Chains A and B, each alone.
Chain A
Amino acid sequence: MTEIKVSKPQKYSKIYSLGAARGSVRVTNDEIAGPIDSSDEWIRQRTGIITRTRANEEETLVSLAVAAGQEAIEKSGVSPEQIDLVIVSTISFPFATPASAPLIATELGIPSAAAYDISAACAGYCYGIAQTDSMIRSGLSKYALVIGAEKLSDFINPADRTISFLLGDGAGAAVVGPSDTPGISKSVWGSDGSQWDKVGMTNSILDFKAGGEWPTLVQEGRTVFRWAVWEMVKAAKEALEEAGITVDQLSALVTHQANMRIVDEFAKQLELPESVVVAKDIETTGNTSAASIPLAMHRLLSEKKVESGGLALQIGFGAGLAYAAQVVVLP
């Protein structure tokens, strides 16, 4: 039998560069406290958020994603023509089809890449990194662009006290490509559909079509908090094991920026030494779902709180309930 050719595998992949774009409107706690009968102090105490960035009328999910993608490509040394795969993770692109990725790729001058969206909410960026790592090492892709992009302000209810007041808009991007040394560890990922209803939309677009309310985001805070800390710390420890490192070898912990209380408790349960920098971008950006991890890592690097070449544990978790974690070498 004639043997067919297959893709030529690469040994390792790594993140080459990151890009970031946040909504240009800084929304203070005072501006949103009224409808939830709250105050700046209450919101700061319970969430650690001082401001959240939201899109203005001109900014769209696509424009934020393009801005983040552009920065990542410029910093990567890879030309748009060389990128053969674009994965956009989002829950807030307002078309079920077509996906946002082909449009974003075209606007970035990427001519003919495989391009598609994934929906894994706050775990989505790490799902994207897991996919690109695997595809690059298999030889299916050479250079890939992963973007987490959200315009969550289209799906909030100002009177909702469970999650809306946490949310911001933004996009974070990473160029991923082949490497001579390991740059992304084996991903630890999974989901728990038995808790599908614990965080997500209030209803479907079919309910809306039938005269129901516009779907907005909502969560059962207690259940999500317990899962996000105590269950996800187990996943984080597993990811460290898969990477063959211990917690003291990390430069940074970059969790999904859900709530500062979750970030703090997570770091406590993981028993991080003081040498590990904990990303706290949520303080001024808010919770941007799929965009939050690349935005937070980008901030750590641009503020020089961590150095290129250090190790970071990144872990995304949220609606699904879905999660993914991996150790990456900082670009």
Chain B
Amino acid sequence: MAHSEADVLAGLAELVNEETGIAADLVQPEKSFTDDLDIDSISMMTIVVNAEDKFDVKIPDEEVTNLVTVKDAVDFIIGAQG
């Protein structure tokens, strides 16, 4: 079942919170994972793998560097849904 944009944002925020402890309401579309949320590459990879499971999508390693903002990740997941 395809997830809506709001579902994906809320789900991602939950994953970010689980991995880093950052409050879910701070995970807004315009935020940069590294510059604003201070998420390092290992935490980012953990979030990516958990997002793959949660949304049933594949996020290739080479794509992860392009996911600069939360919106980038939401858009990628929406586009990758079957």
Contact = CB atoms under 8 A, between A and B. Distances in A.
Interface of A: 45-46, 220-223, 225-226, 229-230, 259, 261, 265
B61 A223 contact: yes
25 contacts: A45-B40, A46-B40, A46-B42, A220-B61, A221-B41, A221-B42, A222-B41, A222-B44, A222-B45, A222-B61, A222-B64, A222-B65, A223-B61, A225-B41, A225-B42, A225-B45, A226-B45, A226-B48, A226-B49, A226-B61, A229-B49, A230-B49, A259-B42, A261-B42, A265-B46
A222 B49 CA distance: 11
B42 to A, nearest CB: 5
Nearest to A195: B61
Contacts of B41: 221-222, 225
Given A222-B41, A222-B44, 18 more contacts: A46-B40, A46-B42, A220-B61, A221-B41, A221-B42, A222-B61, A222-B64, A222-B65, A223-B61, A225-B42, A225-B45, A226-B48, A226-B49, A226-B61, A230-B49, A259-B42, A261-B42, A265-B46
Contacts of B42: 46, 221, 225, 259, 261
Contacts of A221: 41-42
A221 B43 CA distance: 12
Interface string B26-52: 000000000000001110111011000
Contacts of B40: 45-46
The listed residue with most B CB atoms (<10 A of its CB), out of A46, A223, A226, A229, is A226
Contacts, number: 25
Interface residues of B, number: 11
A271 to B, nearest CB: 15
Please report whether the interface of chain B is mostly helix, strand, loop or mixed according to DSSP.
helix
Interface of B: 40-42, 44-46, 48-49, 61, 64-65
A326 to B, nearest CB: 26
A138 B63 CA distance: 48
Contacts of A45: 40
A161 to B, nearest CB: 10
A223 B64 CA distance: 10
A260 to B, nearest CB: 10
A222 B43 CA distance: 10
Contacts of B46: 265
Pairs A-B, 5 closest by C-beta atoms: A223-B61, A261-B42, A225-B45, A222-B45, A222-B61
Contacts of B64: 222
Contacts of A220: 61
A109 B63 CA distance: 54
A262 B67 CA distance: 22
A226 B40 CA distance: 14
A59 to B, nearest CB: 31
A225 B64 CA distance: 13
Contacts of B48: 226
Contacts of A229: 49
B23 to A, nearest CB: 19
A220 B45 CA distance: 12
Contacts of B44: 222
A223 B40 CA distance: 14
Contacts of B61: 220, 222-223, 226
Contacts of B49: 226, 229-230
B54 to A, nearest CB: 14
